[in-house]
A and B are shown apart, each in its own frame.
Chain A
Amino acid sequence: MDNVQYKLNCDLARMLKGGVIMDVTTPEQAKIAEAAGACAVMALERIPADIRAAGGVSRMSDPGMIKGIQQAVSIPVMAKCRIGHIAEARILEAIEIDYIDESEVLSPADDIYHVDKRAFKVPFVCGARDLGEALRRISEGAAMIRTKGEPGTGDVVQAVRHMRKMNQEIRRVANMAEDELYEAAKQLQVPFELLQYVHKNGKLPVVNFAAGGVATPADAALMMLLGAEGVFVGSGIFKSGDPAKRAAAIVKAVTNYQDYKMLAELSCDLGEAMVGINPEEIKVIMEERGI
């Protein structure tokens, strides 16, 4: 990927800001998501909650299924490859996916190396729990970052933890003396130049969304209040009682996250939220994959 393409890829993420990216498993769900105001959809065979329930190895989705979703909607379509699975990433690029999520939600294919995303033309988004993980993924060529959270739980606590941690570290780096950055880069295990960018600008060099456990309009607003530039909603929509209504409410909540009267209205009569599981009840900890 040359610098022009990398900028175009980072800029596509800028177009998604203030929006909601929704997990969908069928063309019908994709149409519901688009009609409800999703700014992009994530095409996958099983949403994270079902991946947890099913257990076993989870892999890239059937490209035929992804193509069906590409044909069903006009908004950008994303899809997931396993961490380090170069071939899955190439397959997704070959079907002209708009964004690849190299995702800890799937079973990692490589327990040491991530995909060399600079070798691709297609953009990548990656999960991160802190500034170090974020800058390592950007160094590998990620054009967008999202918090990992803990997918498929309907529990927002880990997404909050990751967003808070990232922003605390960004503030700490921004306040450092210039000559302290070398040691900080060593400790965080990140390239000096990326850390220097954070020091100068007080933010990541790419767009940063929240993901993992967002289930309600209030959850989405919470992540925006904590500094997210947009929100991924996975299991939270199509595992709930009234997906179309909940999806539309979350979209509006992200735009007007500081209007609490509107949030109150949006939170009414949404039907049943996804059941959710607590951290101590989870067997598979996805956030620990790919650090």
Chain B
Amino acid sequence: MQIALLALQGDFAEHEAVFRKLGCATLQLRQKQDLLQKFDALILPGGESTVQGRLLRELDMLSALRQRIRDGLPVLATCAGSILLAQQLLDDPTVHLGTMGISVRRNAYGRQLSSFAIRGTFGGMKDVPMSFIRAPQIEFCVPDVEVLAEYNGRITAVRQGRQLAMTFHPELDEDRRIAEYFLTNIVQKDR
């Protein structure tokens, strides 16, 4: 199992550590030629979506990655990653990969003083730690998007086909269940 991490900016090293502990091989995508390597799944880490989006374009990686995802590459996206996947950003005309039928509002909860941590339910799994850091919010989904987690009526995790996106950071806590869910239910499952 080869897991690729978008390693342009952000906390990709934290994701890498999680998947290594789960026995996966990993590789970092920092430029276009890295996309020629073979990989079975893609991780879009937390970080600043403006920076990651800009670098995806500047390094000419955006359209190739978009095509891979459209062709069925499994994707796990956290926080900034969900902004990259969104088909629409509210209050912002930019669309990055735009492969997922969700509308996302950036910094929906406010500045760092409004960041928070909870334990919530994710797709039937209870008591999952969830850290929201200057987090975005998923406001609308197209009908075939499955909602996996909510907090106070706000959508915090969704799945559409082989794309899994959340507005919090499972990689920052010891609990590995969301990464395992991704491997078992999406990466290792036949389409």
Contacts and interface: CB of A to CB of B under 8 A. Distances in A.
Interface of A: 4, 7-9, 11-12, 14-19, 34-35, 37-40, 70, 74-76, 93, 96-99, 121-123, 248, 251-252, 254-256, 259, 262
B134 A76 contact: yes
B131 interface: yes
Interface stretch (B8-16, B147-155, B179-187): B8-16
Given A19-B9, A35-B54, A248-B58, 14 more contacts: A12-B115, A14-B11, A17-B47, A34-B50, A39-B9, A39-B47, A74-B107, A75-B50, A76-B48, A98-B111, A252-B58, A255-B7, A255-B9, A259-B30
A123 B112 CA distance: 8
Contacts of A39: 9, 47-48, 51
A105 B11 CA distance: 28
Interface in B124-143: 131, 133-134
Contact of B112 (A74, A122, A252): A122
Contacts of A70: 111
Contacts of A251: 51, 54-55
A11 B10 CA distance: 11
By DSSP majority rule, is chain B's interface helix, strand, loop, or mixed?
loop
Contacts of A38: 51
Contacts of A35: 54
B72 interface: no
Contacts of A121: 113
Given A15-B46, A18-B10, A37-B54, A96 B111 contact: yes
B162 interface: no
Interface string B104-121: 001100111101110000
B160 interface: no
A238 to B, nearest CB: 19
Interface string B91-112: 0100000000000001100111
B55 A37 contact: yes
9 contacts: A15-B46, A15-B80, A18-B10, A19-B9, A74-B106, A75-B50, A122-B112, A255-B9, A255-B55
A11 to B, nearest CB: 5
Contacts of B8: 18, 255
B103 to A, nearest CB: 16
B13 A37 contact: no
Contacts of B47: 15-19, 39
